[in-house]
Every structure is written in C-alpha cells, then in structure tokens.
Amino acid sequence: LREIQKVNHLLIYQIMKSIKIQKLSMINFKGIRSFEINFGNEETFVFADNGVGKTTIFDAFNWLLFGKDSLGRSDFEIKTLDAQGSIIPKIEHEVSSTLSIDGTILLLRRILKENWVKKRGSAIAEFAGNITEYYWNDVPVQQKEYQSNISQLLDEQIFKLITSTSAFNNLDWKQRRCILSSM
C-alpha cells in the first residue's frame, strides 16, 4: 500500500498542470454583493484589515472548485444576510472564475439558487430547498460531471497542500512521510 501511495504521488507531480487564475468574481457570496479581481501576470497580493473579506475570497475559490470553504467544510453558510442577520431570500449566490490551464482558457461558474414552490391552492410560494447549477465554459453540466472534470484538472488534496500553510502539518505522520518520500 505504501508503494502504491508513493507511485500515485509521483504520477500526480508528473502530470501537474500550470493553472493561473485570471479572474475571480463573486455575487452575493458570504455578504459580498459584487466583487471581481482581475489577476495580472505578476503576483497578486490580497491584504486588508481583519474581517473585510480576505478569507471570503479564498472560500469563494474553494467553493467554486470543491463545494467547500477554506477549512474543508461543505456545510458553511454562503448566503448573504441582511442588517438583522437573516438570510436575504430569493437571490442567487454565484462564484465564477476564468482560469488559464497550460495556456487554454477555462470558465467555471457555480450558482446557488433557492427553490421557491407554490403548492396547489396556495397563493404564497414556500422555500423548498436549494439548487446548485454548474457551468463549464458557459455550458451547463451536472454536478457529477463538474466534480469529475475538476478532479481531473486538480487533485483536492494537493490543492490543500499548496494553498494552506497548515494542511501538511494536519496530516497523519505516515501521510507526511509518504509525501516527502515521493518528492
């Protein structure tokens, strides 16, 4: 098993792609009504006071790719809240990004919508859950296809390792040793 893990890690490193974020957009994501970052060819630094959205930007990119926040939670709240702290109903929550992958442009988009249904005989629509829509190069795709495409593009575990300073230390010592040995 250990040898298989080493081979898998070596294969992953050999097929690693050059992925550059060109643009990241958010609409109604975790309280940010509308925000867009255009990344240049140079390094982009995001810095600001605490509590103004730096982590939200990273959460948005993680949600777009994996449906999780930067801590790996899939059950975090992305909906925009009003001044009283209540969810604003009937608005869409969207994250999109333009990526350059080995020089080829890829457009990703994920939209969370509330499903409001009028039951027969009722004049008022009731909340019936959320619907998530997925787009790959502006073409609607099913969740399974989207996740499959993302996993072929980028391994979630490697993404965590290269984007989080604590990810490696949070691994079991055997996993850390395996990764180091494979490098």
Burial class (CB in 10 A: 0-12, 13-18, 19+), 24: buried
Residue 111 has pLDDT above 60, yes or no: yes
- Establish how many alpha carbons lie within 13 A of residue 155's alpha carbon, considering only the half-sphere containing its beta carbon: 14
Radius of gyration of the chain (CA): 19
pTM, two decimal places: 0.82
Which region among 21-25, 26-30, 152-156 has the lowest average model confidence (pLDDT)?
Answer: 152-156
The predicted pLDDT at position 10 comes to: 45
What does the pLDDT read at residue 140?
A: 97
Is beta strand 19-29 parallel, antiparallel or unpaired with respect to 32-38?
Answer: antiparallel
